[in-house]
């Protein structure tokens, strides 16, 4: 069971805080997805709110036949299509607002993709052996110098350099398996 499905089950069991977890985990991606239908980032945000409101009010049954994310996105898609059907008139939007929306959309998309990349790398790091995970974490996430990490991990400078090289190679290999490049 993925985390979204677990949160939704908890929510249905009466733990209202689980809905907060669902919203925080899926909101940004759902906004970008629905924006591809309505071509307006502000409207997409409203439709995402409507999607989560539908979860609260109708409490649809999640069967588990697909991932929770694809199930949620299907609900969001239906909300967007309903909106488009009911509001098929063309809305006139000033050029300045369209430019502003595009900047917001691009910024939101970049931050979402960056966050997704971080989460994927974090997940991949969890699958590394402990020494590899620790050396990468201490140097790249905690910002320790090589000398400080040598002291923390009780390794010589040469051992640390070798360990770091092997850890990066291992992570790079796992990233390639996931289809990520190592640009950052």
Residue 4 domain-assigned?
A: yes
Q: Are 60 and 122 within one domain?
A: no
pLDDT score of 162 more than 90: yes
Does 97 reside within a domain?
no
Q: Determine contact, residues 47/79, Cβ cutoff 8 Å.
A: yes
Give residue 6's Cα distance to chain centre: 17
Q: Please state, in angstroms and as integers, the Cα–Cα distance from residue 181 to each residue in 1, 120, 127, 171, following that order.
A: 28, 12, 18, 11
- The Cα 98–Cα 101 span in angstroms is 5
Provide the total of helices (H) and of strands (E) in the chain, helices listed first.
8, 0
135 in the same domain as 81: no
Decide which of 49, 76, 91 is a domain's last residue. 91
In a domain? residue 96:
no
> How many residues comprise the chain?
184
Same domain, 5 and 77: yes
Segments forming the whole domain that contains residue 142: 117-184
| Residue in this structure with the two tokens 């290999």, named with its chain if needed | 173
More confident of the two residues 14 and 141: 14
Give the residue-averaged pLDDT of 145-149. 84
Residue 104 in domain: no
The verdict on 144 and 86 lying in the same domain is no
Burial status of residue 121 (CB atoms within 10 A of its CB: 0-12, 13-18, 19 or more): buried
| Entry pTM | 0.51
pLDDT band with cut points at 50, 70 and 90 for residue 111: confident
- Examine residue 110 and state whether it is found in any structural domain, yes or no: no
pLDDT digits (tens, 9 = 90+) for 53-100: 998 889 888 888 878 888 888 899 899 988 988 887 555 555 555 555
Residue 177 maps to which CATH number?
1.10.10.10
Whichever domain contains 6, its CATH number is 1.10.1740.10
- Please indicate, yes or no, if residue 72 is contained in any of the structural domains: yes
């Amino acid at each position: 069971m993925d985390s979204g499905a677990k949160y939704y089950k908890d929510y249905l069991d009466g733990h209202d805080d689980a809905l907060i977890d669902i919203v925080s985990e899926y909101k940004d991606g759902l906004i970008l997805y629905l924006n591809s239908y309505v071509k307006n980032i502000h409207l997409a945000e409203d439709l995402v709110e409507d999607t989560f409101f539908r979860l609260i009010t109708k409490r649809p049954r999640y069967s588990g036949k697909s991932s929770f994310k694809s199930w949620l996105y299907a609900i969001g898609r239906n909300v967007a299509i309903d909106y488009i059907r009911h509001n098929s008139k063309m809305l006139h939007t000033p050029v300045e607002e369209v430019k502003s929306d595009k900047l917001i959309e691009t910024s939101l998309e970049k931050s979402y993709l960056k966050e997704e990349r971080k989460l994927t790398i974090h997940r991949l790091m969890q699958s590394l052996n402990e020494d590899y995970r620790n050396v990468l974490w201490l140097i790249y996430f905690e910002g320790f110098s090589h000398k400080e990490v040598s002291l923390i991990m009780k390794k010589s400078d040469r051992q640390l350099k070798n360990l770091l090289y092997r850890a990066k190679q291992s992570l790079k290999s796992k990233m390639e398996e996931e289809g990520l490049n190592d640009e950052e």
